[in-house]
Chain A
Amino acid sequence: MNAIEIRNLCKNFGEKQALVGLNMTVPMGSIYGFIGENGSGKSTTEKIICGLIHKTSGEVKIYDREHTDADVRANMGVLIEAPGCFPNLTVWNNLMIQATNLSIKDKANAVRKVLTMVRMEGAAGNKFKNCSLGMKQRIGIAMALLGSSKLLVLDEPINGLDADGMRIMREILTDIAKSGATVLISSHILGELEKIATHYGIIRGGKMICEMTADELESSCPRFVALKTSDMKKAKETLKEKFKRVEEDEQKEYLRVYDAENPEQVVKYLYDNSIIVNEIWVDKIGLEEYYINLMNGKGEA
């Protein structure tokens, strides 16, 4: 059984087609990174899953049940855009309100537990309006976690966070995943997503163009030998005589040799041609580059 299964999902806003026959499968227990450009339909899909907006056509199943079933939503935690909190109430009171709406019996304990999970124990008495962006996002996660949610739908939870905020958020999400919950997370910050996601879905123009596991991504992302020399131009020309695919990185800081067997082979070849290598290492293209290449129609790599 999958946590979320979407088939031929369409959503029109008047004349505009936001989703055009979207298919999506989120396996149980996965951290599903949902990637796409602005306006590609990520938030629309997530809002439909959560029951905030209606679909035009198609099928959305959550744990094999209709996504509109109110009892299915009792197992779902949601953070869409920003947490829906009353600014003049404290963090504690806002969470207590959500706990009440979820009909949780031991509300105080449940709130204390989620505050600990999101490292916000010390800020419970703060008014929501006085919290920083990072704190607000963590409160949103805490709200989503109330009621021991088995499925979390998080829309851009790491946007706007500083490095420390991102690290904390990453730790929180990893802890959640370890507990066995399924996490659907959309984000533009692909470097961060890559560190935690087990599955990926790439959406474009309201259509899912690619779904894969982290292992599939790993095998789709070619490895290369990266190197720096004092004369990059000469090194590039020399390497091109022996290797088929030699490229400069985007910032033109180092060279990439894709078809070298190992770094020693490259070092030896350049040394034989009187070029000294300053730095050399083995690397692979990341999710961000894979995604950009895919969007630019360059195939997988």
Chain B
Amino acid sequence: MEKSKELKFENPSFVSRIKSMLSVDFYRLFHTPLFYIFIAIAAIIPAMIIGTTGMGDSQTAALFTNTWHGIAVEKPIYVIENIGQYANMNMVFIFGGIMVSIFIGHDYKSGYVKQLFTTHAKKQDYLISKSLTCAFAMMCMCGTYFAGTVLAGALVGLSFKVNAGSLICALLGKVIMSLGWASLYTFLNIIFRKNFWISIASSFFFGTGILIIAAAAILGNSGILNIFLYGSSVYACLSSNFLSVIICLTCSVAWSVIYNLLGTYILNKSDVY
């Protein structure tokens, strides 16, 4: 340490701050077994669903007739008629929520946030960094979910017939939605930061799409439900087109901005630790 008492008030730029925080969050993500466990879970789940229900004997009706049903539904339906319409890549966003809760929960449990917020770090940086890191983790989960589906479909012998353009648009839509979901979960974990189990429960509750289920009960099978994150996920279906991707992108970015602003406001107004 220098002998002088000179004071230099450094004011790191937003880019420099966010770069530092992202490098720490990504370092942590890649060095925690949690991340690898969840991307493995994302691969196993579609394989299990297709593997155990796709063989269709006399007792069990086949859940899917086409491999890509494991990725998305045929048409945007907000009120599901059978569990097969529910058990697709959207499930990544439920498991992703639990992963985000554990990831952010560790920050509070270890006292890391206390250490972080006594540096020049700003609350908004924290939310942005967490949302981006967790969105990346969910995108990876989407990737392994896709791989698990393809592998299981091939093993079971399901059809792979699909409009390739629509499939790509559906996949892109779901991957893009990861940012909105990650922001929602980050926000929920900020609200319930002092109670780890409640934050996990809330992530699961919102991850199952409870808002859209309630809204669909009132509004019916309407496109207006795209205003919900889950609605846009449903819209990313096997009949998707470029417009669907734009809707998912708009919805994902809009919700992440809203959740980040709300989360920043809450963190700024409340005691950190």
Contacts and interface: CB of A to CB of B under 8 A. Distances in A.
A245 B270 CA distance: 54
A65 B31 CA distance: 39
Interface stretch (A70-78, A118-126, A206-214, A264-272): A70-78
Main secondary structure, interface of B, reads loop
Given A89-B31, A180-B4, A181-B1, A101 B121 contact: yes
B23 interface: yes
A70 B11 contact: yes
Given A53-B272, A83-B115, A102 B5 contact: no
A150 B7 contact: yes
B268 to A, nearest CB: 9
A87 interface: yes
B110 A84 contact: yes
Query: Which of A47, A81, A103 has the most C-beta atoms of chain B within 10 angstroms of its own C-beta?
Result: A103
A281 interface: no
A52 B28 contact: no
B209 to A, nearest CB: 33
Contacts of A84: 110-116
A61 to B, nearest CB: 13
A70 B273 contact: no
A99 to B, nearest CB: 9
Contacts of A148: 1-2
B161 interface: no
A103 B7 CA distance: 17
B106 to A, nearest CB: 7
A50 B9 contact: no
A85 B111 contact: yes
Nearest to B6: A150
Given A28-B5, A70-B120, A70-B121, A47 B111 contact: no
B16 A103 contact: yes
Interface residues of A, number: 46
B118 A78 contact: yes
Given A100-B24, A176-B1, A51 B118 contact: yes
A97 interface: yes
A196 B115 CA distance: 25
A73 B10 CA distance: 9
Given A52-B114, A52-B118, A76-B118, A100 B3 contact: no
Interface in B1-37: 1-5, 7-12, 16-17, 20-21, 23-24, 27-28, 31-32
Contacts of B197: none
Interface in B89-114: 106, 110-114
Nearest to A29: B5
Interface string A115-133: 0010000000000000000
B271 interface: yes
A203 to B, nearest CB: 20
B106 A101 contact: no
A265 B69 CA distance: 102
B110 A86 contact: yes
B117 A51 contact: yes
B5 A180 contact: yes
Contacts of B8: 75
A37 to B, nearest CB: 22
B1 A145 contact: yes
B58 interface: no
A52 B119 contact: no
A75 B106 CA distance: 27
Interface in B227-273: 269-273
A278 interface: no
Interface string B133-168: 000000000000000000000000000000000000
A53 B271 CA distance: 4
Interface in B60-109: 106
Contacts of A74: 9-12, 119-120
A53 B118 CA distance: 11
Contacts of B23: 100
Given A179-B1, A180-B2, A81 B10 contact: no
A83 to B, nearest CB: 7
A246 interface: no
A246 to B, nearest CB: 48
Interface in A95-113: 97-98, 100-103
A117 B2 CA distance: 13
Interface of A: 28-29, 47, 50-54, 63, 65, 69-76, 78, 80-89, 93, 97-98, 100-103, 117, 143, 145, 147-148, 150, 176, 179-181
Task: Rank and list the top 9 A-B pairs by shortest CB-CB distance, nearest first.
Answer: A84-B111, A84-B115, A53-B271, A78-B118, A179-B1, A70-B120, A71-B11, A74-B120, A180-B5
17 contacts: A51-B118, A52-B117, A52-B271, A52-B272, A53-B272, A70-B122, A71-B12, A72-B9, A84-B110, A86-B28, A86-B110, A97-B27, A98-B115, A98-B119, A102-B120, A103-B20, A148-B2
Interface of B: 1-5, 7-12, 16-17, 20-21, 23-24, 27-28, 31-32, 106, 110-122, 269-273
